């Protein structure tokens, strides 16, 4: 047993160093979020305004009234009358993004939101959550480590959703 003790201590030390380095790296990503990708056009609507990185994530935090562990973000508004808006947030890992989507689904299902759930549907590997509220159709889904929320005028909803799904494969 005494023979293995130095190796166990070395392994524990290495684990502590890796944990510290990983934590510092994650902190760096969260403190300096990068832009998330946005399509230039959706259903013929041009991207007329966008916020990226920390500014976009601040907007997301203000909408929810809390901060999240996010490493990238973008908010894009499409069309001259803001017919569509995309909020895209990047989590550090797809499993964290999946948990955030599940949490959103649970909270909206409690009924304390301006959104009425319509249902879910599958598109390739995406589970799309569909809602109505505030005069628009809303969809949210996960794509890898990204969380995508789309708000769109009802008459453009299907076309914009399909183009959004194609962009975030």
| 151: β partners | 85, 138
| pLDDT computed for residue 4 by the predictor | 80
User: Who wins on pLDDT, 2 or 40?
Assistant: 40
For residue 150, the tally of other CB atoms under 10 A from its CB is 27
Burial of 114 (0-12, 13-18, 19+ CB in 10 A): exposed
pTM of the model: 0.83
Parse the chain into domains and list their residue ranges: 1-31, 33-167
Read off the pLDDT of residues 63-91 as tens digits, 9 standing for 90 and up: 766 667 899 999 999 999 999 999 999 99
Determine the CATH number of domain 33-167: 3.40.1000
CB contact at 8 A, 45 and 83: yes
Is 18 a residue whose pLDDT tops 80? no
| pLDDT computed for residue 69 by the predictor | 83
What value does the mean pLDDT take over residues 164-169? 95
């Amino acid at each position: 047993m005494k023979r293995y003790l130095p190796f166990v201590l070395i392994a524990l030390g290495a684990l502590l160093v890796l944990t510290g380095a990983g934590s510092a790296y994650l902190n760096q990503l969260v403190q300096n979020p990068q832009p998330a990708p946005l399509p230039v056009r959706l259903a013929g609507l041009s991207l007329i305004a966008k916020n990226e990185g920390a500014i976009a994530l601040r907007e997301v935090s203000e909408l929810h009234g809390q901060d999240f562990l996010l490493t990238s973000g973008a908010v894009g508004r499409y069309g001259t009358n803001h017919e569509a808006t995309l909020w895209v947030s990047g989590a550090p890992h797809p499993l964290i993004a999946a948990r955030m989507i599940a949490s959103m689904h649970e909270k909206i299902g409690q009924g304390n939101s301006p959104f009425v759930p319509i249902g879910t549907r599958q598109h390739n590997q995406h589970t799309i959550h569909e809602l109505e509220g505030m005069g628009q159709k809303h969809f949210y889904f996960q794509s890898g480590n990204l969380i995508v929320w789309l708000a769109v005028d009802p008459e453009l909803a299907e076309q914009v959703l399909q183009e959004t799904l194609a962009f975030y494969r």
